[in-house]
Structure 1
Amino acid sequence: MSGKWHGWRVAVILGVVATILTTTGAISLVARAAETEWSRLSARPLPEVFAKAGKWYATDQVALVSTNPRRLQGKPGDAGQPILVNGDQGRVADLITREQFQDVELRCEFLVAKGSNSGVKFNGQYEIQIRDTASEKKLTGDSCGGIYPRAEQKPKYHHIDEGVAPKANVAKPAGEWQSLHVIFQSPRFDAAGKKIANAKFVKVVLNGETIHENVEVAHPTGHAWVNPEKPKGPLLFQGDHGPVAFRAIEVRAWTAPKANE
């Protein structure tokens, strides 16, 4: 084969590849190949992942107690992909990861008892609410999937705004497994420590439906709204507000795509 013919073939092939990459978005696929791998937290020993596991336990199965649907019943054991349950009474200390995260992507599944309440907090203080609200008509940030309202503890705990309601009520009834997928971007600070950009819930997907997109959060949520904000922090899985179970908890670092991706 002549050098001229060979060079022509190479040029054609490169041109076709470039066209395919541009028109199919394959450039993004190449970029995503370098993303951090998912880390399944719930598959590792509790004390290894969480600072204080307390009375949380791992089980192979969990369900509503037949005689009292406000409670969960599990079978403690060493499961291959364990379900994490917040104790027999459903009121134990929160699970807080030892690892600190900045921009993070989380996937997990959860199940709550009737009337129960939990949540996942990013940086330990920006909460996506988990609650038994499948039949709720008026949605607020206190509904399942909502960005939790700001609150004050005295004279009695109360909300001081409505938070950010999910776009739709896609929550499932108590006793059913639900999926949650969140991309969270931490607040940004300059060299002097001054905040220059708010925290943001880039995307929140509940049970396969997008319920938040690019929602900035000017303050931490709940009564933590007066606390100093930080560029990174732990993930917190709330365990002191009622029976809840989590499984398939996966996290990875997240990087915002460039404008041309």
Structure 2
Amino acid sequence: MKKKFTLIMYFLTFSAVFSQENTTSKPEDTEVWSPKPPIVIPSNESRAPSDAIVLLDGSSLSKWESTKDASGPKWILNSDSSMTILPGTGSIQTKEKFGDVQLHIEWKSPIELEKTGQNRGNSGVFLQKRYEVQVLDNNSNDTYSNGQVASIYKQSIPLAMASNKTGEWNSYDIIFHAPKFDPQGNRIKKGTITVLHNGILVQDHYELEGTTEYIGQPKKVAHGEDSLELQDHGSEVSYRNIWLRKLNE
């Protein structure tokens, strides 16, 4: 009987407290008014958001340099506001270095159906010059899955194949968070990459094992902010409308 009485009293006490909390709480008790997010004017199909750093708008290649030396890029600036790789002149990189970013970039493969596998429409978007999102023409062109279009090269197979027809423009929207290292150079947090290919989620917050290597395993060498690099792999791939937003400031 005593145990039953104790349980009844506990239930009545809990009910009273619960009822009191419900009657005294107000909606504004859980409203947060500060800080307020900054206002950013969204982009349309041809313009970058108001807080973006525009890396290519078709007017010049002034934001870029050759990876071979300190000279300007040898790639071709086209009348349609795009630029095209001039094979053999080397990859290019941004003069400015970046950490965590939201990147928008559009690319188009050339029509070179005589080539197959990794030789057709091959280029790459290298975040911090170390982590590659593959650019490749895989339309009716098979290759290894962790090296196909929209893969994190040799690390992560894309969740879908979302390419437009060969010769048409594609877009990548990439969210990149750089890896973190302690003062001794030990990695304490993996970097991550999310990729939308033509609006389709193809890499979902993938945790990088290290650098994306052509031969061998990923490397975990400490580094800081670095350039965005676009690869010359011998194909006349074109790029346009490149912009990014810094996420760590």
TM-score, normalised with respect to structure 2: 0.71
Shift of 1:238: 0.9
Shift of 1:233: 1.1
- The corresponding residue for 2:83 is 84
Checking the alignment, whether the CA contact within 8 Å between 1:36 and 1:252 is kept in structure 2 is no
Flag the 1:243–1:91 CA change in 2: closer, same or farther, 3 A.
farther
Flag the 1:19–1:255 CA change in 2: closer, same or farther, 3 A.
farther
Distance 1:135 1:254 in 2: 37
How many residues end up aligned between the 2 structures? 200
- The corresponding residue for 1:158 is none
Checking the alignment, whether the CA contact within 8 Å between 1:91 and 1:242 is kept in structure 2 is no
**Which one-letter code corresponds to 1:176 in the other structure?**
E
Checking the alignment, whether the CA contact within 8 Å between 2:77 and 2:83 is kept in structure 1 is yes
In structure 2, runs of 5+ residues without a counterpart are 1-25, 41-48, 67-71, 113-119
Distance 2:63 2:37 in 1: 29
Distance 2:238 2:201 in 1: 22
Identical-pair percentage: 23
**1:34-73 alignment runs, 5 A limit:** 37-43=51-57, 45-46=60-61, 48-52=62-66, 53-61=72-80
Shift of 1:36: 8.2
- The corresponding residue for 1:189 is 181
SS for the counterpart of 1:31 is coil
Distance 2:74 2:189 in 1: 38
| Residue 205 (structure 1) aligned with residue 192 (structure 2) | no
Checking the alignment, whether the CA contact within 8 Å between 2:56 and 2:240 is kept in structure 1 is yes
Distance 2:248 2:132 in 1: 21
Flag the 1:227–1:190 CA change in 2: closer, same or farther, 3 A.
closer
Distance 1:253 1:119 in 2: 21
Residue by residue over 1:71-129, the C-alpha shift from the partner in whole angstroms, topping out at 9 and shown as x without a partner, is xxxxxxxxxxx201112xx3431111111111011101100113210010001010000
Checking the alignment, whether the CA contact within 8 Å between 2:83 and 2:238 is kept in structure 1 is yes
Shift of 1:199: 1.5
Flag the 1:137–1:45 CA change in 2: closer, same or farther, 3 A.
closer
Distance 2:106 2:206 in 1: 22
- The corresponding residue for 1:176 is 168
Residue by residue over 1:24-77, the C-alpha shift from the partner in whole angstroms, topping out at 9 and shown as x without a partner, is xx989x42537981111113631x31122432121124xxxxxxxxxxxxxxxx
Shift of 1:131: 0.2
Distance 2:163 2:140 in 1: 8
In structure 1, runs of 5+ residues without a counterpart are 1-14, 62-81, 150-162, 257-261
Distance 2:190 2:50 in 1: 24
- The corresponding residue for 2:104 is 107
Checking the alignment, whether the CA contact within 8 Å between 2:137 and 2:166 is kept in structure 1 is yes
- The corresponding residue for 1:240 is 233
- The corresponding residue for 1:9 is none
| Residue 254 (structure 1) aligned with residue 225 (structure 2) | no
Larger radius of gyration: 2
Distance 2:241 2:170 in 1: 11
Shift of 1:134: 2.5
TM-score, normalised with respect to structure 1: 0.68
Distance 2:50 2:190 in 1: 24
- The corresponding residue for 2:125 is 120
Distance 2:102 2:29 in 1: 31
